[in-house]
Structure 1
Amino acid sequence: MRPADQGSRERFLDAALSVLVKRGVPSLTVRGVAEAAGASTISVYARFGGRAGLLDALYERTFDSLREMLESLPPSSSDGVADVLHLALEYRRFARESPARYALMFERPVPGFDPDPALRSAVLRTTFRMFVERVQRVSPPGADAQAAAYQLWTAMHGLVGAELMLASRTPLAEFFIPPTDEANEAVYRQGVTAMMRGLGLR
């Protein structure tokens, strides 16, 4: 069997995502992914051209997961603000589900890895458009829904990013937020709600 025939592209991406989630960024190498897929390193090179190509493909796959989450949300209801809050809570769940995946999407956990600009534009345009559509329904007349959506997303991102950072370290005994999911969700919900109110979403 030729190296390129040892498995489909999807098989290798599944293996790469598994390595990222279970073993972290340091194991996200051509060899590590090949071993997880039960194939040779040559087969990974044949499919992706090397680690950079593999990481680009994995980056795209992570955004596919976010898009699928957004597509799975219930249809718009008569309460558009509640719909946006529900989206925000699902976004938090998505981030908490796999901090390593979330970091690959929005941080720089892999030294030297800079996703292809055209790829970044494509995946962000697709997922962000879906977010803007929800925000647009509840934006005041004449408001810039895209700017409002971006400001709301940065609030969501900041809140969940801080939560993930704190969760990755030893809890502080006297910190005002108890290290529980319920307490963190309450703070996140309050922050997102305050931002929506400040943006005039209704």
Structure 2
Amino acid sequence: MSTSRVAPQRTPSQDVGTSLLRAADDVLRRDGLAGVTVRAVAAEAGVAPMGVYSRFGSKDGLVDALLIRAIEDFQAAVGRDNEPDPRERLMAGGRRYREWALANRQHYEAIFLARIGLGSDEVAEASMRAFGELLARVEYAMDGGVLARGDVVDVAQQIWDAVHGAVALELNSLVLTADPGATYERLLDTIVRGLAP
């Protein structure tokens, strides 16, 4: 009587990487950035910790990949539509910024609140591409006469300062008004009026 042995199937490297990133995302949502450890992600993915090292090199490499993926998702959400009206395009981008942050709190905190600076070169590049969404909207609003002409980067930074502050306060339950969404909408209107020609 002979028994045929079937060689175990190995998961392709790309699938392991995807599985690990999905697991890291799950850990981030559940435990925050501090919970994203090699051991926790490997356990979540059902692989040995060495799988994380062989695919990402280190915990930092894993976190960088996770942050880049989150930044790209954030960028896609904020820039999802290109409304023809320049004022509405600027306002809609601001609304989607808040919506994404509220729907992806741990990701927003990991990108914008848990670290100092822009991170590794790869994360910084992804961050600057995302900032480019705002730059394009500011330039479009200037071309459309909605915002006064000026240094596009400076004006975009002012807008980001305001919306980021508002979103960070809301995420930390520090909005004292009854309707944070309505307050945020008025803030967007204040920003646009304040930067108008």
TM-score range, shorter chain: 0.7 to 0.9
CA RMSD of aligned residues (A): 2.5
Structure 1 portions without partners, runs of 5+: 168-174
Q: Find the counterpart in structure 1 of residue 177 from structure 2.
A: 177
Over 3 Å counting, the alpha-carbon distance change for 1:48 and 1:133 in structure 2 is same
Is the aligned partner of 1:155 residue 2:162?
yes
Counterpart of 1:53 in structure 2 is: 61
Q: Distance in 1 between matches of 2:53 and 2:117?
A: 17
**Residues 157-200 of structure 1: per-residue CA shift (max 9 Å, x gap):** 00010000117xxxxxxx8413xxxx001111111210111111
CA distance in 1, matches of 2:125, 2:176: 40
Residues 53, 193 of structure 1: alpha-carbon distance in 2 compared, 3 angstrom cutoff: same
Q: Which residue of 2 aligns with 1:132?
A: 135
Deviations 1:1-25 (A, max 9, x none): 6798494312211110111012323
Alignment of 1:63 with 2:63, yes or no, is no
- Could you tell me which of 105, 118, 133 is aligned with 2:111? 105
Q: What does 1:22-101 correspond to in 2, within 5 Å?
A: 22-73=30-81, 75-77=82-84, 79-101=85-107
TM-score normalised by length of structure 2: 0.84
Tell me the alpha carbon deviations over residues 45-75 of structure 1, each in whole angstroms, 9 at most, x when there is no partner: 11111211111111111111112213422x2
Distance in structure 2 (CA, Å) of the matches to 1:150 and 1:30: 35
**Are 2:143 and 1:143 aligned?**
no
* TM superposition score normalised by structure 1: 0.82
- How many pairs does the alignment contain? 185
Percent of aligned pairs sharing the same letter: 27
Structure 2 alignment gaps of length 5 or more: 1-8
Would you say the 8 A contact 1:52–1:113 is kept in 2? no
Q: Distance in 2 between matches of 1:4 and 1:27?
A: 26
